[in-house]
Structure 1
Amino acid sequence: MSAGDPYQVLGVARTASQDEIRKAYRKLAKKYHPDLNPGDKAAEEKFKAVSLANDILSDENQRGRYDRGEIDAAGQERAPPGYGAHGGYSDFGGGAGGFQGGAGFSPEDLSDLFGGMFGNRGGGARRPSGPRAGQDKSYNLTVPFVDSVLGGTSRVSLPGGATLDVRIPPGIESGQVLRLRGKGGEGVQGGPPGDALITVTVQSDPKYTREGRDLRQTLPIDLKTAVLGGPITVPTPSGSVRMNVPPDSDTGSVLRLRGRGVKEHGKHEAGNLYVKLEVHIGKADEALKAFLRSENGQEAPQGASAEEK
């Protein structure tokens, strides 16, 4: 897969803010994520391209180096100015004058350069290239819905069988990226290691749906509780709680549990859990049947049986 210009891949301007880059990445990562496009190779390749573009543009240092032409769209070091297509220096002549220095390099510079390339046969000392940071590594992680609400810890499997424990902050959403400093590729010549970039996908939940910091669920109740009111037990991500159903409730009635929604990194108060009631009659007893047959307290004639119809 060839890497395209990261700004074009994410569909943002070169002057885009980090917030604009983050929003563009989340939208595309969610669209092309392999878990949402099983078996779709094209979507998988687009997801990789989007992740690579985000790796570069979300890091101010890497973005600056790309803008200055120091690294390419794949995050690889570019050859110094003046290198030819075959790795040789392009600006020297073969006339009687010997070497024609160019592009700001002195003969001593080039002696070091070529000495390093060809085993120091010229006797010049090789200059070290200096420490360089390691490559960032990208991984995918699917987390349970409850962990996205309350926070938790999940484990990522790395190539070679190693694992990495990742702390999941409360309030995380699909497409967000967690950066683990120093957990990427090893540095070069004593340089710092790169980072691990974890793209998160949140599993759906059969009980809950999320709307911002709020959660919603549908809960069945019996007819007696709906008519007369009474306590019910409500499951929440942080444990079951008791709440009272007011009398004369009906299917579609919505009750609110404050503070039982998403915590969202502690930046805000926790959201609410909204419980939509759904009345289930169940098996009616004889007293209820008799009451429903009566009219103004008097026994009403019963309808014809199925055999008589």
Structure 2
Amino acid sequence: MTVIDPYEVLGVERNASDEDIRRAFRKLAKELHPDLNPQDQTASDRFRQVSAAYEILGDPPKRKLYDTGQINAQGEPRRGFQHPQYSGAQGASAGSGFAGGFGFGDIFDEMFSGRRNAGAGGGFTKRGADVRYTLDVEFVEAITGVKKRVTMPEGGVLDLTVPEGVHDGQVLRLKGKGGPGLGGGQPGDALVEIKVRPHTRFRRVDDDIHIDVPITIDEAVLGGKIEVATINGRVQLTLPKGTSGGRVFRLKGKGVKNRQTGHTGDQMVTVRIVLPNEIDDELSYFFTVWRQKHRYDPGPR
């Protein structure tokens, strides 16, 4: 392995403080540790370089010897200098303390949540990483619930039950479906964020469903029964005589079931009076005569 200037290896200036060196080493050790990069030989080689660099720069007396040219980048005395306490294998070991009492053991404890495997290997365990996915569902599927299959980046599949009543942006947690643990650690979880596609007619407000329904002018005047679409099918709605445009009718229990409270919302139906595409002479004459006899004030405008 090529010997490189320890300062260059850690990416710090020669006048860096002990804290700067410690921080640089911590960052690199976390990124390059072999347990986190089991198939990456380049990362393994870099980790050894970083560790060797910190053995020198992480120990103030040894750093001083390096800075004054008395030891080389391997921690060995240069010709003409004898410092047995810092030569070769007598250097600081991976378990010893360094500047400020901070050593490799501290790094590993932080990386692996401070948990050492009690098995014969005496290694470290770390819980697997959580993985995040986004799942698009239709508006009605979010209200009624649906079973979906999520394709993961590595090609695997994840069967997911979307419960009824989920809302846009809600995150479903699947225990143990995330990344594998290290050293026998528990696997992480899969976090699936739900994205609800908008519906062409329905809108959701909390646990209620809203819909605009067109009615004819004669239905508004004379009243009657009309069919209205709901999440679970069509139902009949009775319009009283003289129904004004914008009036809201409530269909009890036709909204979203809230799994936390057990409450089911309602469907709010707002009627809109729609005139015929063409106003024929008969309709025009009728309202001309009617207006002369029954003019009224609809309210402020």
Counterpart of 1:43 in structure 2 is none
Q: Distance in 1 between matches of 2:177 and 2:213?
A: 44
Shift of 1:180: 0.8
Conserved? CA contact 1:169–1:264, under 8 Å: no
2:254 is aligned, of 256, 260, 271, to: 260
Matched to 1:292, the amino acid is F
Match of 2:38 in 1: none
Which residue type is aligned with residue 180 of structure 2?
Answer: E
- What does 1:201-280 correspond to in 2, within 5 Å? 201-280=195-274
The correspondence of residues 1-309 of structure 1 with structure 2, limited to 5 A, is: 86-88=50-52, 90=55, 95-97=83-85, 98-99=90-91, 102-103=96-97, 127-282=121-276, 288=283, 291-292=286-287, 294=289
Query: Alpha-carbon deviation of 1:146?
Result: 1.4
3-state SS in 1 of match to 2:286? helix
TM-score, L = length of structure 1: 0.55
Letter in 1 for 2:84: A
Q: Cα gap change, 1:76/1:263 in structure 2, threshold over 3 Å: closer, same or farther? A: farther
CA distance in 1, matches of 2:163, 2:223: 38
Of stretches 161-170 and 201-210 in structure 1, the one that deviates more from structure 2 is: 161-170
Instruction: Give 2:150's aligned amino acid.
Output: V
Task: Tell me how far apart the structure 2 counterparts of residues 256 and 222 of structure 1 sit (CA, whole Å).
Answer: 20
Shift of 1:264: 2.1
Judged with a 3 Å threshold, the aligned counterparts in structure 2 of structure 1 residues 145 and 295 are, in CA distance, closer, same or farther, namely closer
State how far apart, in whole Å, the 1-side matches of 2:137 and 2:210 are.
19
**Secondary structure of 1:278's match?**
strand
Bigger Rg, structure 1 or 2: 2
1:218 Cα deviation (Å)?
Answer: 0.5
Per-residue deviation, 1:85: 7.5
Q: Distance in 1 between matches of 2:226 and 2:165?
A: 27
Runs of at least 5 residues in structure 2 that lack an aligned partner in the other structure? 1-25, 35-46, 63-75, 77-82, 99-103, 105-119, 294-301
- Aligned residue for 2:233, secondary structure, equals coil
TM-score, length-scaled by structure 2? 0.57
Q: Deviations over 1:15-54 (max 9, x none)?
A: xxxxxxxxxxxxxxxxxxxxxxxxxxxxxxxxxxxxxxxx
CA deviation profile, 1:95-135 (whole Å, cap 9, x unmatched) = 4343556329xxxxx9xxxxxxxxxxxxxxx9442443222
State the superposition RMSD in angstroms. Answer: 3.6
Distance 1:286 1:100, change over 3 A: closer
- Segments of 5+ residues of structure 1 without an aligned counterpart are 1-70, 105-109, 111-125, 299-309
Question: What fraction of aligned residue pairs are identical, expressed as a percent?
Answer: 32
Deviation at 1:207, TM superposition (A): 0.6
Q: In structure 2, do the counterparts of structure 1 residues 245 and 76 end up closer, same or farther at CA, with 3 Å as the change threshold?
A: farther
